[in-house]
């Protein structure tokens, strides 16, 4: 019996799922014990290594999350909100660390994670990269230093298959800016502009989402005033930055008290 925590990857055929399977497979601190896909997916029943076009690795893709999670000490989950809620309940039953990268969750869906967090560790972040988590801190600091003469705009760009907007990262950055300003994001977020919108409301935090091609993830936080603009920017050029953070979280969560955590906790920022 290995003392390396076993990891089950959900959404194993997805853009992030495949990246996570590769990274866990290459890790000398974690081992892959499960690969989960949605019912009806054509990878079900295949060895995940072969399905990804490589050598077999002895883990069969399943649509039975209970079976895949049973031997796991951590679940790394980059799927969709409804699936993530289902996995949270199963992870809690198994007392496995649930690392959630899924974005686009509503406030109600986020609140619905709470019962699971009473029994297991949940680590959730709209972006698992070190760079973006650092950028949230910089954003908060700059927002705290500037007054409302500096209009805050968050501009994000992603690939044409992304289904949610604004991105989870953009919302993290918005929360950080709002915190810096001492306001609630819900009171100042401007997420949709079209037609005769009227002049910009002072103090608002605006969001713009660009979708195109294979852009992995780019985020600007702009502070625009009369005569000058400050722009804080993060560009992800490789999905390994997200996967690396998720693996770090899976390890960090081992032996922690049940509850909800984020990547600032994991990274000690």
Ligand X SMILES: O=C(O)C1=N[C@H](C(=O)O)C[C@H](O)C1
Q: 41, 98, 162, 234: which is the annotated catalytic residue?
A: 162
Task: Give the three-state DSSP class for 262.
Answer: coil
Nearest to 123 by CA among 75, 155, 169: 75
Interface with ligand X (CB under 6 A), residue from 180, 206, 217, 253: 217
Using CB under 6 A as the binding criterion, the count of chain residues that bind ligand X stands at 9
Q: CA 231 → CA 27, 173, 184, distances in Å?
A: 36, 13, 22
101 assigned to a ligand binding site = yes
Looking at beta carbons, which residue is closest to ligand NAI?
A: 14
The DSSP line for 206-224 is EEEEEE-TT--EEEEEEEE
**Residues 24, 246: contact at Cβ < 8 Å?**
no
| DSSP class of 36 | E
Binding of residue 16 to ligand NAI (CB under 6 A): yes
Distances (CA, A) of 186 to 183, 190, 235: 9, 9, 26
Min separation Cβ 164 and ligand X, Å: 6
Applying CB under 6 A, does 18 fall inside the site for ligand X? no
Q: Answer yes or no: 234 catalytic.
A: no
Residue closer to ligand X (CB basis): 69 or 247: 247
- Within residues 164-183, the interface with ligand X by CB under 6 A covers 167-169
Taking the C-alpha atoms of residue 128 and residue 249, their distance in angstroms, rounded to an integer, is 9
**Residue 17, interface with ligand NAI (CB under 6 A)?**
yes
Question: N- to C-terminal Cα distance for the chain?
Answer: 34
Among 101, 174, 180, 206, binds ligand NAI (CB under 6 A): 101
From the list ligand NAI, ligand X, none, which binds 36 (C-beta under 5 to 8 Å, kind-based)?
Answer: ligand NAI
The SS3 assignment for 61 reads strand
DSSP output for 211-266: E-TT--EEEEEEEEETTEEEEEEEEE--THHHHHHHHHHHHHTTTPPSEEE-HHHH
What is the rounded CA–CA span in Å between residue 208 and residue 203? 16
Question: Considering beta carbons, is residue 162 or 181 the nearer one to ligand X?
Answer: 162
Closest CB 165 distance from ligand NAI, rounded Å: 10
Q: Determine the residue with CB nearest ligand X.
A: 217
Q: Is 34 annotated as a binding residue?
A: no
Mutual angle of helices 168-181 and 130-145, in 10-degree steps: 30
Catalytic residue (choose from 98, 158, 219, 248):
158
List contacts with ligand X (CB under 6 A). 103, 126-127, 158, 162, 167-169, 217
Binding site, by residue number, is 11-16, 37-38, 101-103, 125-128, 159, 168-169
Binding site membership for NADP(+): which residues? 38
In the complex, the residues that contact ligand NAI under the rule CB under 6 A are 10-11, 13-17, 36-38, 41, 78-80, 83, 101-104, 125-128, 168, 242
Give the catalytic positions in this structure.
158, 162
């Amino acid at each position: 019996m290995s003392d390396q925590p076993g990891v089950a990857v959900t959404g194993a055929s997805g853009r992030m799922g495949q990246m996570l399977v590769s990274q866990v497979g290459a890790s000398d601190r974690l081992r892959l014990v499960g690969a989960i896909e949605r019912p009806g997916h054509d990878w079900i029943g295949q060895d995940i290594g072969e399905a990804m076009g490589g050598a077999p690795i002895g883990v069969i893709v399943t649509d039975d999350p209970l079976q895949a999670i049973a031997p796991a000490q951590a679940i790394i989950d980059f799927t969709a909100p409804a699936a993530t809620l289902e996995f949270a309940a199963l992870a809690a039953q198994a007392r496995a660390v649930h690392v959630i990268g899924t974005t686009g969750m509503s406030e109600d869906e986020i609140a619905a994670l709470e019962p699971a967090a009473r029994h297991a560790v949940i680590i959730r972040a709209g972006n698992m990269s070190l760079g973006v988590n650092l950028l949230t801190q910089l954003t908060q600091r700059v927002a705290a230093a500037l007054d409302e003469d500096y209009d805050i705009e968050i501009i994000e760009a992603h690939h044409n298959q992304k289904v949610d907007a604004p991105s989870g990262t953009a919302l993290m950055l918005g929360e950080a800016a709002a915190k810096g300003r001492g306001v609630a994001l819900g009171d100042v977020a401007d997420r949709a502009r079209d037609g005769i919108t009227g002049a910009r409301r002072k103090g608002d935090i605006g969001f713009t989402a660009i979708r195109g091609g294979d852009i992995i993830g780019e985020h600007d936080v702009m502070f625009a005033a009369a005569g000058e603009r400050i722009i804080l920017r993060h560009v992800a050029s490789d999905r390994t930055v997200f996967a690396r953070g998720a693996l770090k979280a899976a390890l960090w969560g081992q032996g922690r008290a049940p509850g909800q955590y984020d990547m600032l906790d994991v990274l000690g920022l």
